[in-house]
Amino acid sequence: MSDERLATTDLSVGYRRRAVLSGIDVTLRAGELTCLVGANGIGKSTLMRTLARAQPRLTGRIELRGRPIADLSPRELAAELAIVLTDRVAAGQLLGYDLVALGRAPYTGWFGRLDDADRRTIERALDTTGAGHLAGRPVTELSDGERQRLMIARALAQQPSVLLLDEPTAFLDLAARLELVELLRSLTHEHGLAVLMSTHDVEHMLRHADSLWLITPERELISGAPEEIGLAGHLRRLLHDAATFDPRTGTFTWDTGQAATARVTAPPGCPADLLSWTVHAVERAGYRVSERGAEVDAERDAERDAEVDVDVTVEVRASGGWRVGPHRLDSVTALVARLRDGG
């Protein structure tokens, strides 16, 4: 297909004669954000480095735009594929602009002289990543999130068709993580790159990834749309069946095997955020929650059956073998306390 950027056939990766992953047949396509997920030490970074030719493959084939990656010169490879690793770069006294300019090395030769076209490419990379304000600052003074933006800008300065990122959110705070994901979505959907990133933030990336590569505990690599993989039950295997994956909400929940039924409701006009946070509180109090329109059904770990209604004013009522209410509670904290002590 014309949109295929990187593809593997029966690929095995590992060290010397010991394969970490085998039989890998996957494809990266233009305009897609693909996430690689799996347990620590299972081979994600090994696969990333092998795809970038930073370490040799054991067997099989890797093609970059239809050409065997082994046949490309270092300069040809750098012009098509860029990789951003978790390792901190020893930037010395480099300014942000200088760090990004290193991405032009495949085009500037031994002397590293930048012409006007190179400078325009660097400026474009800084602008695309929202890192223009970092160009004049020493890299050593930047936060992890700011450094990560510059590293991605440096990769973009190579003008690649494929971008690989190994755990790019590992050391970022929440705001920086969200900004990075939005940047990666822009690079794929608006700029047409094929992007592969490894991550442990499965629940978050399920909302944003176009494709998922999942390495199971048995070291089998499964690829497909996140929804397909979730519905097939593969995501639960990440936790060795310790949790239940809810494909409707894209979240993991824990099932202890005991339950009493409950119901959370809201009147017409209830703000969606108020209902959602109330449901979250009920779930945190020990319930498994599934939403159905304006009503939310829940199951609580308990020996007694119960039915609980929570309206927009956080009023709790109950019927059955125990009661919580009718009480008008002033806060979600009071609601959770009432639910936990059973009335």
Q: Would you say residue 252 has pLDDT above 70?
A: no
Q: How far is Cα 203 from Cα 235, in angstroms, rounded to an integer?
A: 10
Tokens of 79: 């012009």
* Reported pTM: 0.76
Q: Which domain holds residue 37?
A: 4-238
Same domain, 22 and 100: yes
Domain annotation covers residue 134: yes
**Do 155 and 281 lie in a common domain?**
no
The pLDDT value recorded for residue 97 is: 96
Residue 48 located in a structural domain: yes
Residue for token pair 């790019």: 168
Q: Is 265 found in the same domain as 195?
A: no
Residues 306, 229, single domain; the answer is no
pLDDT band at 312 (very low <50, low <70, confident <90, very high): very low
Contact 219, 21 (CB under 8 A): yes
Residue 206 lies in a domain: yes
- Please check the confidence at residue 196 and state whether its pLDDT lies above 90: yes
Q: Which of 238, 273, 295 is the last residue of a domain?
A: 238
The answer on 280 and 190 residing in a single domain is no
195 in the same domain as 77: yes
Average pLDDT, the chain: 79
Judged by phi (left if over 0) then psi (alpha if -120 to 50, else beta), residue 278 lies in alpha
**Is residue 253 situated within a structural domain?**
no
Residue 244 inside a domain? The answer is no
- Residue 202 burial (10 A CB sphere; 0-12, 13-18, 19+): buried
- The tally of domains found in the chain comes to 2
Q: Are strands 194-198 and 67-68 parallel, antiparallel or unpaired?
A: unpaired
Residue 146 belongs to a domain with what CATH number? 3.40.50.300
Given a cut of 50, whether residue 49 has pLDDT beyond it is: yes
Lowest mean pLDDT among 52-56, 112-116, 200-204: 200-204
Q: How confident is the model at residue 271 (pLDDT cuts 50, 70, 90)?
A: low
Reported as a single tens digit per residue, the pLDDT across 293-308 is 555 555 555 444 444 5
Query: Sorting pLDDT into bands at 50, 70 and 90, what band is 327?
Result: very low
Q: What pairing do the DSSP bridges indicate for beta strands 221-224 and 295-300?
A: unpaired
Let me know whether 271 and 337 are in one domain: yes
One domain for residues 52 and 172: yes
Residues 315 and 258: beta-carbon distance below 8 Å: no
16 and 66 together in one domain: yes
pLDDT, tens digit, 9 for 90 and up, residues 120-159: 999 999 999 989 999 999 998 998 888 889 999 999 999 9
pLDDT, residue 90, reads 65
Residue 161, token pair as written in the block = 């068709």
